[in-house]
Chain A
Amino acid sequence: MIESLLGGLYLAFSPEVIMFVAVGVFMGVTLGAIPGLSGDMAIAILLPIVFFLEPAAALGLLTGIYKGGMFGGSISAISFGVPGTPGSAATAIDGYQAKLKGYPNKALNTALYSSVIGDTTSDFVLIFLALPLAIVALTFGPVEFFALYAFSLLLISALTKGKVAKGVAMAALGILLAMIGRDPIGGSLRLTFGIPALSGGLALIPVLVGIFAVSELIIQLSRAWMERARRIVDDTKRQAESLLGDYDASKDKLTFREFRANMKATWIGTTMGTLIGALPGAGSSLAAFISYGLAQRFSRNRDDFGKGSLEGVAAAEAGNSATSGSTLIPLFAFGIPGSATAALFGAAFILMGMTPGPRLIYDHTEVIYALFLILIYANLINLALSHFLLPLYSKIAMIQSRILLPIVCVLAILGTFAAGNSVIDVWVLLFAGLLGVVLRIYNFPLAPLILGFIVAPGAERALRQALLIGRGEWTHLLSSPIAIGLYATAAIMILTFTVLMRERKDPTPPAAGKEGQG
Chain B
Amino acid sequence: MSRLKATLKATAATTLAASLAFAPGLAAASPLGSDPIRLVIPFGPGGGSDITARVLSATAPEFCGPRIDVVSMSGAAGLEAVNFVRNAEPNGHTLLVTDYGPIVTSGFVDDVDWSHDDWQPVMNFTEWLPTVYTRPDHDIQTIEDWMEAAESEPGTITFGHASPLGIVHLPLILLEMETGMENVHVPTSGGGETRSMVMGGHIDLGMTLPASIASEVAAGELTALGVFADERSPALPDTPTFKESGYDVALPAWLMIFATSDVPSETVEFLQDCFMEALASPTAVAMSDRVNAGIEPLNAEDSARLYQNTVDTIGSILREIGEID
- Physical contact A–B (CB less than 8 Å): yes
Interface residues of A (CB under 8 A from B): 44, 47-48, 51, 137-143, 181-182, 184-187, 193-201, 203, 280-281, 330, 334-338, 340, 343-344, 346-347, 350-353, 355, 357-359, 420-425, 427, 461, 465, 468-469, 471
Residues B70-121 near A (CB distance < 8 A): 70-80, 110-112
Chain A residues, CB < 8 A from B196: 137-138, 140, 280, 330, 334, 336
For the complex, what is the distance from the CA of A51 to the CA of B110, rounded to whole Å? 37
Choose one: B57, B197, B221; the contact of A142 (CB below 8 Å): B197
- When the two chains form their complex, are residues A347 and B51 in contact, meaning their CB atoms are under 8 A apart? yes
For the complex, what is the distance from the CA of A355 to the CA of B290, rounded to whole Å? 10
Chain A residues, CB < 8 A from B185: 468
Report if B299 contacts A (CB, 8 A).
Answer: no
Q: A335-B216, A351-B51 are in contact. Are A424 and B58 (CB under 8 A)?
A: no
- When the two chains form their complex, are residues B110 and A196 in contact, meaning their CB atoms are under 8 A apart? yes
Q: A47-B54, A48-B54 are in contact. Are A203 and B75 (CB under 8 A)?
A: yes
| Chain B: minimal CB distance from A420 (Å) | 6
- Of A51, A182, A280, A352, chain B has the most CB atoms within 10 Å of the CB of A51
- When the two chains form their complex, are residues A197 and B203 in contact, meaning their CB atoms are under 8 A apart? no
- When the two chains form their complex, are residues B291 and A350 in contact, meaning their CB atoms are under 8 A apart? yes
List 6 additional A-B contacts (Cβ < 8 Å) besides A281-B189, A427-B4: A47-B46, A47-B50, A48-B54, A137-B196, A344-B45, A351-B290
- When the two chains form their complex, are residues A142 and B163 in contact, meaning their CB atoms are under 8 A apart? no
**Tier of interface size on chain B:** 35 or more
Report if B188 contacts A (CB, 8 A).
Answer: yes
- When the two chains form their complex, are residues B79 and A200 in contact, meaning their CB atoms are under 8 A apart? yes
For the complex, what is the distance from the CA of A143 to the CA of B156, rounded to whole Å? 18
How many residue pairs between the two chains, A and B, have CB atoms under 8 Å in the bound complex? 163
Q: A47-B46, A347-B51 are in contact. Are A184 and B8 (CB under 8 A)?
A: no
- When the two chains form their complex, are residues A48 and B58 in contact, meaning their CB atoms are under 8 A apart? yes
- When the two chains form their complex, are residues B215 and A195 in contact, meaning their CB atoms are under 8 A apart? no
- When the two chains form their complex, are residues B287 and A51 in contact, meaning their CB atoms are under 8 A apart? yes
For the complex, what is the distance from the CA of A412 to the CA of B173, rounded to whole Å? 44
Chain A residues, CB < 8 A from B234: none
Q: A195-B5, A280-B192 are in contact. Are A359 and B46 (CB under 8 A)?
A: no
Chain B residues, CB < 8 A from A280: 192-193, 196
Q: Show 19 A/B contacts (Cβ-Cβ < 8 Å), sorted by A.
A: A140-B200, A143-B202, A185-B187, A195-B5, A196-B5, A196-B111, A198-B76, A199-B77, A280-B196, A336-B195, A347-B50, A353-B291, A358-B219, A359-B219, A420-B74, A421-B71, A421-B73, A423-B80, A461-B187
Closest A residue by C-beta to B42: A200
| Chain B: minimal CB distance from A464 (Å) | 8
Report if B309 contacts A (CB, 8 A).
Answer: no
Chain B residues, CB < 8 A from A343: 44, 46-47, 192
Chain A residues, CB < 8 A from B19: none
- Of B12, B165, B203, chain A has the most CB atoms within 10 Å of the CB of B203
Closest A residue by C-beta to B158: A469
Q: A198-B76, A344-B45, A423-B8 are in contact. Are A141 and B200 (CB under 8 A)?
A: yes
Closest A residue by C-beta to B212: A335
Closest A residue by C-beta to B9: A423
For the complex, what is the distance from the CA of A137 to the CA of B193, rounded to whole Å? 11
Contact with A along B203-222 (1 / 0, CB 8 A): 10000000010011001010
Report if B16 contacts A (CB, 8 A).
Answer: no
Chain B residues, CB < 8 A from A195: 1, 4-5
- When the two chains form their complex, are residues A350 and B292 in contact, meaning their CB atoms are under 8 A apart? yes
- When the two chains form their complex, are residues B219 and A51 in contact, meaning their CB atoms are under 8 A apart? no
Choose one: B58, B76, B291; the contact of A199 (CB below 8 Å): B76
- When the two chains form their complex, are residues A44 and B74 in contact, meaning their CB atoms are under 8 A apart? no
Chain A residues, CB < 8 A from B46: 44, 47, 337, 340, 343-344, 346-347
Chain B residues, CB < 8 A from A201: 77
Closest A residue by C-beta to B113: A196
For the complex, what is the distance from the CA of A87 to the CA of B158, rounded to whole Å? 35
Chain A residues, CB < 8 A from B20: none
Closest B residue by C-beta to A181: B77
For the complex, what is the distance from the CA of A330 to the CA of B192, rounded to whole Å? 10
| Chain A: minimal CB distance from B148 (Å) | 20
- When the two chains form their complex, are residues A48 and B57 in contact, meaning their CB atoms are under 8 A apart? yes
Closest B residue by C-beta to A188: B164
For the complex, what is the distance from the CA of A347 to the CA of B11, rounded to whole Å? 32
- When the two chains form their complex, are residues A196 and B79 in contact, meaning their CB atoms are under 8 A apart? yes
Chain B residues, CB < 8 A from A351: 51, 54, 290-291
- When the two chains form their complex, are residues B80 and A200 in contact, meaning their CB atoms are under 8 A apart? yes
Residues B121-173 near A (CB distance < 8 A): 156, 158, 163-165
| Chain B: minimal CB distance from A277 (Å) | 15
Chain A residues, CB < 8 A from B219: 358-359
Residues B200-252 near A (CB distance < 8 A): 200-203, 212, 215-216, 219, 221
- When the two chains form their complex, are residues B1 and A141 in contact, meaning their CB atoms are under 8 A apart? no
Closest B residue by C-beta to A428: B75
For the complex, what is the distance from the CA of A141 to the CA of B165, rounded to whole Å? 23
- When the two chains form their complex, are residues A469 and B76 in contact, meaning their CB atoms are under 8 A apart? no
For the complex, what is the distance from the CA of A217 to the CA of B248, rounded to whole Å? 60
Chain B residues, CB < 8 A from A461: 187-189
Chain A residues, CB < 8 A from B290: 351-353
Report if B263 contacts A (CB, 8 A).
Answer: no
Chain B residues, CB < 8 A from A51: 54, 58, 287
Choose one: A199, A200, A281, A340; the contact of B193 (CB below 8 Å): A281
Q: A51-B58, A340-B44, A350-B292 are in contact. Are A421 and B187 (CB under 8 A)?
A: no
- When the two chains form their complex, are residues B11 and A423 in contact, meaning their CB atoms are under 8 A apart? yes
For the complex, what is the distance from the CA of A203 to the CA of B44, rounded to whole Å? 12
- When the two chains form their complex, are residues A200 and B291 in contact, meaning their CB atoms are under 8 A apart? no
| Chain B: minimal CB distance from A477 (Å) | 13
